[in-house]
Structure 1
């Protein structure tokens, strides 16, 4: 195995030609954090699916096996395998085999962002077959980062916003029992605090639950989940622990939303990532994480 000075991430995501999401945010964020990104496009779209209609969608399922076979022939290895939006449920078995073939050392981090839906609904390209297959894929993950909607679908539980700390802890624990050691749920509602949203997490290794709260800004930007998980991946590979990674991710996304919210442009284009990328290399103040009791 070659000795490298830069850590390498296999990023298994879609590529949208317009709109700041998926590989369009994964690559610049991880590169800015000093990591080499090796892209695996699962689909190519003219735009992302959040707010656009009539987009072109090219499913690359039939190309993945040949793609991975070439990498295997090159004897490549990765410090992290990080998956996101998948072009079809058939990709699950192919990517599962890719993980088995390329997780060649004990410290390879497998991160699965189970992209399925938001606001209580599945995305237009997703169906129940994808939900069922995703439940099998997350068994291979060290960490998963579903939003609140995706957590509900994975657990087959009702989506409801009136959820307290003890119930969300049960969700985190039960998701961990499905395979991943670390579970992060984003966009978790904060009971009794309409102007606050939470990111909550569980680490099975030390049996601790974590929470980072942030002020809710009344705007929706597609791609923020991709950006958040990318910061988490970069932070962990830089040596941060889980609560610090959570703190960094929330602070970065909050800064990106604030930089975008005051500017007049279509929200469907995503946050103005270009204005805040430099924050990733600025001194970081740990200030927000807390134990979820």
Structure 2
């Protein structure tokens, strides 16, 4: 059986566990070949660090895509996240249109911000462009802040109760055109997880796990990467979301026990065996 192949369009940070330094090992552990297409290279991620370097890879991305097209590479999935410039919206859109086939899954993590605010490298134009890019997705994985940006709605006016969140994910799903996994949803004290809308079945379902004491950087990238790997392996949206939530929870518990600096991200590497054990040969 051919090893599934995913084109991962994300940034890479030399230090700090996020984006490609998460996606590559997670997808590899799940038996999926990860083909990285970097959008930027940073010396560190932007959360908790100052003075970081930022190399915009916009000029290189079309060259990589053109070479891959010459090689007639085929991907089981295209998985995109953090973008570095407005121009990359068009580049990633063209990449999806070029490499998408009838059986290609397109997962877009519409990375824009958190806690009601845009990330410091994101402009209003880039956020607007991300909304248009997300229209090409089969599955999107926004957090609550990104959901507000996608819908053009004030963050502090998003619903908190289950019925309102169910309607929210349906709206984010463009009423059946794409599936949605809305992360950072808490429906009861001490719990966190995701509200899911499956466009194939028009069903919604909630995944909840015990919340850890402190939020950790990189959990969103881990969640989306595990979700993508599980979907590529043929799991349902709800099963994939549950696997992602369980793995993030296990990594968070392990990290909390190490008493590591929060800005270093989730200490997930020792936990990759949990993903490998799910593979069959």
If the TM-score is normalised by the length of the shorter chain, which range does it land in? over 0.9
In structure 1, distance between residues paired with 2:199 and 2:226: 21
- 1:282 is displaced (CA, Å) by 3.0
Q: TM-score of the superposition, structure 2-length normalised?
A: 0.95
- SS of alignment partner, residue 43 of structure 2: strand
Match of 2:236 in 1: 241
Q: TM-score of the superposition, structure 1-length normalised?
A: 0.91
1:135 aligns with 2:131: yes
- 1:8 is displaced (CA, Å) by 0.5
Aligned residues of 2:42 and 2:55 also touching (Cα < 8 A): yes
- 1:75 is displaced (CA, Å) by 1.1
Offset from partner CA, 1:208-247 (integer Å, 9 cap, x none):
0010111221212211111111101111111111111111
- 1:198 is displaced (CA, Å) by 2.9
- What CA RMSD, in Å, does the superposition of the two structures yield over aligned residues? 1.5
Match of 2:21 in 1: 24
In structure 1, distance between residues paired with 2:91 and 2:213: 39
In structure 1, distance between residues paired with 2:266 and 2:122: 24
Aligned residues of 1:111 and 1:142 also touching (Cα < 8 A): yes
Q: Which consecutive unaligned segments of at least 5 residues does structure 2 have?
A: none
In structure 1, distance between residues paired with 2:129 and 2:159: 28
In structure 1, distance between residues paired with 2:224 and 2:136: 17
Structure 1 segments (4+ residues) deviating >2 Å: 281-284
In structure 2, distance between residues paired with 1:86 and 1:283: 31
Match of 2:266 in 1: 271
Match of 2:169 among 162, 169, 172: 172
Offset from partner CA, 1:130-186 (integer Å, 9 cap, x none):
111011101110000001111111111121376111211121111111885210100
Number of equivalences: 278
In structure 2, distance between residues paired with 1:221 and 1:198: 14
Alignment of 1:100-115 (within 5 A): 100-103=97-100, 105-115=101-111
1:163 aligns with 2:193: no
